[in-house]
Amino acid sequence: MKSIFSVFEYDSLEVGSKSIDGGLFTKDHRTALEHFYYNNKKKYFDLTRNGVRFCNYVGVIQVGNLQIEILPKIDKSNDSEKKQWRNILIDMLRATGMFDVTAPSYGMLKLRDNSILELYFAIFLGELEYLIRTGLFKQYKKQAINQIALKGAIDFPKHLSKNIVHQERFYTNTNVYNYDHIWHWIFFQTLKLIKNYSQKRAILDRAAAIELNFPEVTDQQISVSTFSKLHYTRKSQSYKNAIDIAQLLFSNLHPDLQAGKNSVLALMFDMNLLWERFIYSSLAKMFRQCNNGYIVTAQYPMPFWNTNNNRKDIKPDIVIQSPEGETFILDTKWKIGSDNSPDSSDLYQLFAYSQFFQAKRTALIYPSLSKNIVPGKYLMPNLSDGNPYCDLIQLEVQPKISDWQKKIYEEILGWMENQT
């Protein structure tokens, strides 16, 4: 039985937990995740005595027949808001290019209630349906055949060893022009992956129907290294969207021989990085559209310390230059302390940015359920130009991504203009 757990970041999942659809998180699932934890550099969760606790990564982890969806969480988000946060997550990923799908089929999707993993499955199937309608391509492939009719070049060593008794046969090497080639091997194996991991009947039915279009394709095992053998030509260029998704899926598939049938497929995103990229892409987009003279840059490294053979760079999240040449520094943080107080290390970092860039003002940027700007300044005696400022800006989350991006722009622009 396939089941789906939907949790928020920093939630825990214990052995024995039941999903809404009656699924059970078992010891076998926990064991598979433990093996994945120790064999994967990125730590998407922490191990607990009897389960796992998720951290700042969101997305989907499929372990065997169990799909675990991890959603973003702000303040007091509750279970009734999971659908909204799923949609916000997908839109944030699209806005930042971290969910980079340009497939024609994407615009026709009606899968807003499904996880990111199912969304990738649906886009891949849509791409295959499009390719089948427009026409799959054939390739020549060398094939060894022991046959009665002489076609192709005789392989004399094999012919002599195989046909001493059957002298009416010819062991030949010939070029066959068909659909059985590496591109379709990848499609075929990706269809099998989807059938193994999808939780949605509509997806499973589509995959089974599409598979019927590949009757002569060999069931060849593929791995991540298979994709390095591909070379795009004029004929294969239309396959790129589908191949990109297939590569993403196989790159994140972690077969676990020790864990038996419970292999792990993980599509996870660092929420801190996503928030930083979302704020930058939103500001860059809106300032570009408004064309008001502001320049926005992200993660631009500047050397600030060196020895004869060593150098260290300083790299703020976002730097904004006003038309008047004033500098504003933004540092994005997905989480604020439980007492609405910033971490001391973040303040130290912003102080360094402020001094190095001679910034007019700096700010820590957090998401929140309500808008709030708290002015703050560093207490430094004997400064002739006044104490540098570091404000706390909490940006209210909006359910519609375009509204949210516009609101982010208006809040940051207003904050900067109020300082001049």
Determine how many CB atoms are found less than 10 A away from the CB of residue 121. 28
Strands of the sheet containing 153-154, edge to edge, are 139-147, 170-178, 153-154
Final residue belonging to a domain, choices 220, 238, 270: 270
Our separate counts of H helices and E strands in the chain read: 10, 19
Please indicate, yes or no, whether residues 207 and 313 belong to a single structural domain of this protein. no
Q: Look at residue 315 and tell me if it is in a domain.
A: yes
**What residue type is 83 in one-letter code?**
K
**What residue type is 41 in one-letter code?**
K
Q: Look at residue 278 and tell me if it is in a domain.
A: no
Q: Minimal CA–CA distance to 48: which of 77, 16, 76?
A: 16
Q: Whole-prediction pTM value?
A: 0.84
Residue 17 near residue 52 (C-beta atoms within 8 A) = no
231-236 CB contacts, 8 Å cutoff, 24+ apart: 235/137, 236/137, 236/183
Please indicate, yes or no, whether residues 239 and 119 belong to a single structural domain of this protein. yes
**Distance from C-alpha of 183 to C-alpha of 243, rounded to nearest angstrom:** 8
188-201 mean pLDDT: 93
Residue showing tokens 């068909």: 178
Please indicate, yes or no, whether residues 52 and 163 belong to a single structural domain of this protein. no
Please indicate, yes or no, whether residues 14 and 144 belong to a single structural domain of this protein. no
Average of per-residue pLDDT values in the chain: 87
Q: Look at residue 283 and tell me if it is in a domain.
A: no
**Distance from C-alpha of 169 to C-alpha of 162, rounded to nearest angstrom:** 9
Residue 85 near residue 69 (C-beta atoms within 8 A) = no
The answer to whether residue 412 scores a pLDDT higher than 90 is yes
- What residues contact residue 129 under an 8 Å CB cut-off, 6+ apart? 105, 206, 210
Please indicate, yes or no, whether residues 192 and 167 belong to a single structural domain of this protein. no
pLDDT of res. 1: 63
363-386 mean pLDDT: 85
Residue 64 near residue 262 (C-beta atoms within 8 A) = yes
The answer to whether residue 106 scores a pLDDT higher than 60 is no
Q: How confident is the model at residue 142 (pLDDT cuts 50, 70, 90)?
A: confident
Please indicate, yes or no, whether residues 126 and 211 belong to a single structural domain of this protein. yes
Q: How confident is the model at residue 179 (pLDDT cuts 50, 70, 90)?
A: confident
Please indicate, yes or no, whether residues 234 and 88 belong to a single structural domain of this protein. yes
Q: Look at residue 277 and tell me if it is in a domain.
A: no
Q: How confident is the model at residue 101 (pLDDT cuts 50, 70, 90)?
A: low
Q: How confident is the model at residue 151 (pLDDT cuts 50, 70, 90)?
A: low
Please indicate, yes or no, whether residues 311 and 334 belong to a single structural domain of this protein. yes
Max CA distance (Å), the chain: 103
pLDDT, tens digit (0-9, with 9 covering 90-100), for 292-305: 999 999 988 888 88
Q: 155 pairs with which residues across the strands? A: none
Please indicate, yes or no, whether residues 317 and 377 belong to a single structural domain of this protein. yes
Q: Look at residue 286 and tell me if it is in a domain.
A: no
Q: Which residues of 65-99 are buried (b: 16+ CB within 10 A; e: fewer)?
A: bbbbbbbbbbeebeeebbeebbebbbbbbebbeeb
Residue 35, domain extent: 3-135+182-270
The residue ranking higher by pLDDT, 132 or 115, is 132
Q: How confident is the model at residue 186 (pLDDT cuts 50, 70, 90)?
A: very high
Strands of the sheet containing 51-54, edge to edge, are 12-14, 51-54, 45-48
Q: How confident is the model at residue 395 (pLDDT cuts 50, 70, 90)?
A: very high
Please indicate, yes or no, whether residues 173 and 215 belong to a single structural domain of this protein. no
Q: How far is CA 331 from the centre of its chain?
A: 22
Q: Look at residue 32 and tell me if it is in a domain.
A: yes
pLDDT of res. 383: 62
Please indicate, yes or no, whether residues 8 and 23 belong to a single structural domain of this protein. yes
From residue 366, how far is each of 28, 182, 272, 326, 346 by CA, in Å? 38, 47, 10, 23, 12
Q: Look at residue 276 and tell me if it is in a domain.
A: no
Q: Look at residue 64 and tell me if it is in a domain.
A: yes
Please indicate, yes or no, whether residues 362 and 392 belong to a single structural domain of this protein. yes
**Distance from C-alpha of 93 to C-alpha of 117, rounded to nearest angstrom:** 13
**What residue type is 416 in one-letter code?**
M
Q: Which helix (H) or strand (E) holds 280?
A: helix 271-290
Q: How many domains does the chain have?
A: 3
Q: 374 pairs with which residues across the strands? A: 392
